[in-house]
């Protein structure tokens, strides 16, 4: 398990599977459309949005995920 420091200094735990989704979103050129994810990745992304690690936006009627600028901290 890893920890991400989000805005305000709050430490959020992130599992290894969630870290893979974060890397996928971060490595994509621009916002990553939900349709490019499988069901498991989309669920993990949804959880990360609620914890403040990812941002979810609606672009031209498509649900997309973007990386919230957070700092990675290993503890």
Q: What is the pLDDT of residue 70?
A: 59
Q: Tens of pLDDT along 6-62? A: 777 788 889 999 999 999 998 888 899 999 999 999 999 999 999 888 999 999 999
- In order of start, what are the domains of the chain with their CATH numbers? 2-73 (1.10.10.10)
Q: What is the pLDDT of residue 18?
A: 94
**CA 1 from centroid of its chain's CA atoms:** 15
Q: Radius of gyration of the chain from Cα atoms?
A: 12
Is 31 within 8 Å of 62 (Cβ atoms)?
no
Partners of 11 in the β-ladder: 5
Q: What distance, in Å, lies between the first and last C-alpha atoms of the chain?
A: 9
Q: What is the pLDDT of residue 73?
A: 57
Is 34 within 8 Å of 42 (Cβ atoms)?
yes
More confident residue, 5 or 36: 36
Best CA proximity match to 5, nearest among 75, 61, 73: 73
Position 71 confidence tier, pLDDT thresholds 50, 70, 90: low
Q: What is the pLDDT of residue 48?
A: 93
């Amino acid at each position: 398990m890893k920890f991400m420091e989000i805005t305000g200094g709050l430490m959020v735990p992130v599992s290894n599977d969630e870290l893979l989704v974060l890397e996928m979103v971060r490595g994509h050129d621009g916002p990553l459309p939900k349709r490019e994810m499988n069901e498991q990745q989309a669920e993990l992304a949804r959880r990360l949005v609620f914890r403040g690690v990812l941002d979810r936006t609606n672009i031209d009627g498509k649900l997309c995920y973007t990386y919230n600028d957070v700092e990675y901290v290993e503890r």
